[in-house]
A = this chain, B = another copy of it.
Amino acid sequence: MQNFIKFETQSTAEKLIQSALQFKEKPFLQKELGKELRIGLIFLNPSLRTRVSTQIAAKNLGMEAIVFNIDKEGWALEFEEGVIMNENKAEHIKEAASVLGSYFDILAIRAFPTLTDKKQDMADKVIHQFIKYSQKPVVSLESSSRHPLQSLADMMSIKETWKNVSKPKIVLSWAPHVKALPHAVPNSFAEWTLGLGHDLTITQPQGYELEEQFTKGAEIEYDQEKAVADADFVYVKNWSSYHDYGKLPKVEGDWLLKDHQLKKGAKIMHCLPVRRNLELADELLDGNKSLVPLQAENRIYAAQAVLFEIISNMES
């Protein structure tokens, strides 16, 4: 594994989950591995869990982690080729990525989508330019199209929780919100569950269908109540329209999930931050169905497994 920006293969994903579970048992198992290695955590957008968990993961492996909020501590970057930079962008990605590549052994990048330029977002332009110009391994801390560290932690959480021989029924359920949110988390969740051979049902209002490359193989069910009735895991998440890109088509009915809609023993999941009682009700977040704290905690070990894998490949 050179870069970590999406789901690759089932065997890679399973290896990462095993490795993450092992680091959860013994966080300092490889504490000398990253000595004299540096990771740059580059944020073009705000972050809490992703930043802190990746910083901790790097430290657990003995690496030096340096956080740089380029949007706040630096200046605006230009991503277009060939333009005359006579407006408000002070540095081109070519220079920024090349310099950061010469300063760090691994780069990790967060770059949210525009939600206005679908083509650019789906091409993950920012992260691919970092890969191209830095010439160093790149880890996605959430790109326009995907949030693979989140999904790895989510898969770990399902693995830890589901002890039956039979397959669990996993549902991805759209939830209400007041803002237009990216598709990265639901895209990745679908990509990873399906990639790992899970059965996935997606429930969402009309107009909120995700890009098919991520959802191919999933069952689509527009009736939320029906979709979640016998679910073992319900991943709750808002996203904006993909087809009417970044827009918020009018939604019929009440999509705020209720405890009584779920069977006993069902688990609810969310990537956080969550808007309580808008996306997910207090009764569910504060009740014993919630896997949310587990998912957040697992972010450390998901990141640690990914960094371990990248470093191991560097050495070979």
Contacts and interface: CB of A to CB of B under 8 A. Distances in A.
Interface of A: 28, 36, 38, 40, 43, 46-49, 51-53, 55-56, 59, 64, 66, 68-70, 72-75, 78, 81-87, 90-92, 94-96, 98-100, 102-103, 178, 272-278, 282, 285-286, 292-293, 296-297, 300
Contact of A103 (B56, B72, B275): B56
A40 B68 contact: no
Contacts of A56: 38, 64, 66, 103
A296 B101 CA distance: 11
Given A82-B277, A91-B274, 13 more contacts: A52-B103, A82-B282, A84-B278, A85-B277, A85-B278, A86-B178, A86-B278, A87-B178, A91-B273, A92-B276, A94-B286, A102-B293, A102-B297
Given A28-B36, A74-B47, A296 B85 contact: no
A99 B178 contact: no
B90 A74 contact: no
Contact of A78 (B87, B94, B95, B276): B276
Chain A contact residues, majority secondary structure = mixed
13 contacts: A46-B74, A46-B75, A48-B99, A52-B100, A56-B64, A56-B103, A83-B276, A85-B275, A95-B272, A95-B273, A95-B292, A99-B272, A99-B297
Nearest first, the 3 closest Cβ-Cβ pairs linking A and B are A91-B273, A85-B275, A102-B297
A295 to B, nearest CB: 10
* Tally of this chain's copies: 3
Contacts of A276: 78, 83-85, 92, 94
A293 B296 CA distance: 38
B75 A52 contact: no
Contacts of A73: 43, 46-48, 51, 69, 72
Which of A59, A74, A276 lies at the interface centre, i.e. has the most chain B CB atoms within 10 A of its CB?
A276
Contacts of A99: 48-49, 272, 293, 296-297
B178 A277 contact: no
A127 to B, nearest CB: 18
A217 B297 CA distance: 47
Contacts of A297: 99, 102-103
Nearest to A273: B91
Contacts of A46: 73-75
A172 to B, nearest CB: 20
A94 B276 CA distance: 10
Contacts of A53: 103
A94 B285 contact: yes
Nearest to A296: B99
Which of A85, A277, A297 lies at the interface centre, i.e. has the most chain B CB atoms within 10 A of its CB?
A85
A56 B47 CA distance: 23
